[in-house]
Structures are given as C-alpha cells and as structure tokens.
Amino acid sequence: MSQVTDSSLQPASFTTPIQRVRGTNDFLPAHEARLRKLEGALRERFARYGYEGIQTPILEPLDLFLRKSGDEIVARMYAFSHWNRRLCLRPELTASVMRAYVGELQGRTLPVRLSYSGPTFRYERPSRGRYRQFTQVGLELIGVGGAAADAEILHLACGGLDALGVKSYRLVVGHLGVVLQMLRQLGMSEHAQGLILDLMEPLTRGRLAADDAVRRVVELLGGGAAAEGPDGALVGGGEQEMWGLADLAPDQAAAVVADVLRHTRLPLAGGSRQPREIIERLLARAHRPDPTAQVRTAVEFVLRLHEAAGGAEKMSLLHELLEEQGLSTEPLHEMQAALDLLRAYGVAEADGGGREVAWEVDLSLARGLRYYTGLVFEVYVDTEDGPLQVCGGGRYDDLIRALGARESIAACGFSFGLERLDLIGASSDDQPARLPRVLVVAVEEADHPDAIEVAGQVRAGLAERCVVEQSLRFGGLKAALRHADRSETDVVLLVGDRERREGTVALREMRSRAEQQVTRGDLTDVLRKLLT
C-alpha cells in the first residue's frame, strides 16, 4: 500500500511542469494575432493624429511611482531589491513616459504627442478582465492645457473604440478640480488630500462605508483615538493637555519639554533623528486640531458629488451644489467646454451613425491615482457580467514637475486595457484575409539548398501575397504531404533529384491534388495566377 504512493511523494523535481504565474496569460497564435491587430489599429489611429511612438523599460526605479502614484497603486506593485537597488515592474505607463520626457524630450517644441503600448503589472486579485500582467495602449499630450486638449484626447478615446467597431459604450467624465478645491478650502494638508483622493474610488463604488473611510483617514492622520499610545507613551493627547503645552509659546514649550526630559534622563534621540526635530514635531502635534470633522466633511462632499452624477441634465444641479459650498464653478465650465468640443468632433449621444454613446458627469471620479489635477474620464462597455472599464485617463498638470522638470507643464492622456478590449469582442475592421500558405519541400537532404533557393524566389516574387514555409525535416514525401494537409497548406512545391536536374519544381495544389512540373523561370507567374 505504501509502495503505491512513492512516486507521488517525491518533491517537485526538474521534470515537473512549470505552472504559469497566477494572473498572467499565455496568448496562443490565433489569439495573439488578434491582440496584435487591436493594438496596431489603435496605434495607427493615434499616429494619424500626430502621436509618435515611444517605448520605455518595463523595469523602473521604485521611486518613480512613489512620487505621485498614490498608495493604492504603490501597495500593489511588484517591487524588489536587486543588488541593493530598489526596482519595480511598472504598474502603469504614464509616469514612465513622463520620466522619459523630462529626461530626454524637454527641449522639444510643445505640444509633444506620444503614444505607447506595453505590459504593466499590478498585484491584484485576478478575475475576469483583471490580470496581474496586462497591456496598456495609450497616449500622452504634453504641453497644452484646457478644454481644447481635453477634447482631443476624449475624441481619440472614442475614436479608438470606433476603430475597433465598439459602438455602444458609456463615457463617464469628471473633474478633480472640484474635490481638490474643496480639500484646500477645508485647509487639508497635501498628505491628507492624498488620503482622500485614494479612497474616493472605493468609497463611491460601495467598497468602503463612509464611517470606515473617515475612521481610516483620521487614523492615518494621527487624530482622534489613534493618538493614545500604549507603553505609557509621553504624548497621549490627554497628557499634553495636562502639561498645558498647547497654551505656551513654541520656544517656551520647547524649553519645558527639554527640561523635563533632562530630568527623566530619557535619551532624546535614536536612529537618524535629532532631539530638535523630535521636540518640534511633538509640539506641532500638540497644536494640531482633531481632523475628524474636516475629514467627515470631505467624505460627505465626495458622496454628494457621486449622488449628483448623471447625464447633461445634472449640470445645473452640480452648479448649485458647488455654489452652495462656495466653490468656483470653473471646473464645470472647463468640462462643459470639452464636451461641447467633442460634439464638434462628431461624437454625440446616439448620433445616428449606429453609435450609442451615453455620457455621464461624475465629479467624484478619481481613478485611484493621485496625480490627476483636472478632467478625468473612464469608458465602460456593458458585458454579461456587468460594465467593464476599457479605457481611462485625464489631466495631470503637476506630474511632470514632480518628476523633476524645470517647470510645470500641462499634460493629459489615457490608456486602453488591451486584454479587456479583446474580452468585449472588439476587432479591427481592416482584418486582412488569411494569406495562402506555400510549403517548400526538399525530397532528400541533398535537395535542401535548391529548396531554399526556391522558397527565396517565391518570397521575393510574391511578397505580401502568401506565407512561405520551408520544410526542415527530410522524412520523405508522404510525411511532408501529411504535414501540408494538417497545416492547411494551399500549395506544396517539391524539389527532388529530377527537379534539380531539369531546373523545375513539382507544384502540387493540395485542395485538388493536381500536380504539374513548372520551370523555375515560370514559377512566380504560375503561382501568382493560382493564388489570386
């Protein structure tokens, strides 16, 4: 009984098949061709609008994405240290393209239009349409701000879907200017603003309750209950009040603290921080108000914006909402201007061209990235399993400067998820018909050099008209013809002893099984007639 199990008890060895990494795909020939065509159709469309291709490395310094991408992305990155350098697989392409722009293209006349495609990586729970390696196909428009540029990229996103025959989709447009204005008005620090931007997506998608969102942000900001330390930490909120530090002038307070510490003989340092830094922060902390009310206001505002989302008819409601909060309605005007221009481009709701484009304005749209500053948008296509986001992008006027540019440069862009486009059945119109296949067979190994010549002659004479495959196994005629049948070959060209002597080729049509001897000189013409 125990004998039976022995082989299966061996540890995994060199002969065990290697599994594909979870959340990644092997795209097999037919599928791969389809994806390549989708990508080609999009890139070609972008090129016609003046977007030049750029390719950046998959491997990037980790710092590139720590600067501005936001915690949601950072926590999902494939990051590692290799020989003491911190690297990562890119989780998106915009930051990479902007890094390249800052490094090498800054001198160019603006605007600079760039398009790209390539694999990106995020460690997320895999599901339908969500993979850990996925392909982004997109573009960036650098150096122009305002509605004109926004409208161009919106149009190209819709145009890209047009090129792939996707006629029915929903375009959700937002503008981060509204929420950012509100957060600044509330006096929130940049850190706090980032935390709110990060949770806008889970909050509005119902993945995070409002109370939990408030609690989380307050906790991360160090307000409320989180300030009570264990271990008798000196700085629980209550103790500060007892010391009355908050009421003292900063330098007096610093002196008091320094004095107390001298008496308690607590070593006021550790790691790389100076005592001065520690006391300064301790006092700053004592003066800081509880952020709970602020955060709650921000979270409720985001939810109100989300509730007010809808079609064009909601615009006046949104105007009212902003005015009520004392916020500028400039972002709404900017958005409206872009949408109006989009009409001029010919993208409109149910415009009679068989397209069904539903528009929706949602000012709570944040896209889970921290670098957006203005108009943002996402495109959804309905599937059996619910709506699938196939495209997303927006304006990020601060990113280039954050990556070390000499000045702030307006920029916007978007990307498609290639695998998702494939999933919704998008296909490029200009699908070339299947090319006829020709197989060149050497009967004996000695005939191979002549067979190579024949194949070369056909490829040169009938370029783009057919696929020429060279048989590399000299297993005899029968085996070669069997292979031709299985590989859906149209014509087999045989080169044997007799053909070599006579300067001919035996041409066999696989469908009719008709065979003829053709001289090498006539071969190209005969084939051309046969294959067209």
Question: Which residues contact another protein by CB under 8 A?
Answer: 1-3, 5-6, 8-12, 19, 22, 66, 71, 74-75, 191, 195, 219-223, 226-231, 233-236, 257, 261, 266-273, 275, 277-279, 281-282, 285
Phi, psi at 531, each rounded to 5°: -90, -5
Q: Which helix (H) or strand (E) holds 276?
A: helix 275-287
Residue number with CB closer to another protein (8 or 532):
8
DSSP string, 516-532: EEEETTTHHHHHHHHH-
Angle (CA) 392-394-395 rounded to 5° is 165
Q: CB of 371: closest distance to another protein in angstroms?
A: 14
- Bridge partners, residue 467, by sequence: 437
Q: CB of 253: closest distance to another protein in angstroms?
A: 13
Distance separating alpha carbons of residues 189 and 192, to the nearest angstrom: 5
Residue number with CB closer to another protein (125 or 513):
125
Residue number with CB closer to another protein (286 or 462):
286
Distance separating alpha carbons of residues 222 and 212, to the nearest angstrom: 15
Q: For residue 95, which of 60, 145, 131, 133 has the smallest C-alpha distance? A: 60
Q: CB of 233: closest distance to another protein in angstroms?
A: 4
Number of neighbouring beta carbons within 10 Å of residue 299: 23
Q: Reduce the DSSP state of residue 497 to 3 states and report it.
A: helix
Determine contact, residues 494/508, Cβ cutoff 8 Å. Answer: yes
Sort strands 386-395 and 411-417 into parallel, antiparallel or unpaired: antiparallel
Q: CB of 133: closest distance to another protein in angstroms?
A: 15
Phi, psi at 454, each rounded to 5°: -60, -45
Q: CB of 16: closest distance to another protein in angstroms?
A: 11
Residue number with CB closer to another protein (72 or 334):
72
Cα dist from 340 to 130, 349, 363, 380, 413, whole Å = 33, 12, 17, 21, 19
Determine contact, residues 359/193, Cβ cutoff 8 Å. Answer: no
Q: CB of 48: closest distance to another protein in angstroms?
A: 40
Residue number with CB closer to another protein (162 or 198):
198
Q: CB of 75: closest distance to another protein in angstroms?
A: 4
Q: What amino acid occupies position 237? A: G
Q: CB of 277: closest distance to another protein in angstroms?
A: 7
**Which residue has tokens 């007799």?**
498
Distance separating alpha carbons of residues 346 and 159, to the nearest angstrom: 10
Residue number with CB closer to another protein (11 or 326):
11
Q: CB of 302: closest distance to another protein in angstroms?
A: 18
Sign for the pseudo-dihedral over CA of 160, 161, 167, 173: negative
Distance separating alpha carbons of residues 75 and 85, to the nearest angstrom: 18
Residue number with CB closer to another protein (22 or 343):
22
Q: CB of 23: closest distance to another protein in angstroms?
A: 9
Residue number with CB closer to another protein (68 or 306):
68
Residue number with CB closer to another protein (268 or 348):
268
Residue number with CB closer to another protein (193 or 471):
193
**Which residue has tokens 């059945």?**
425
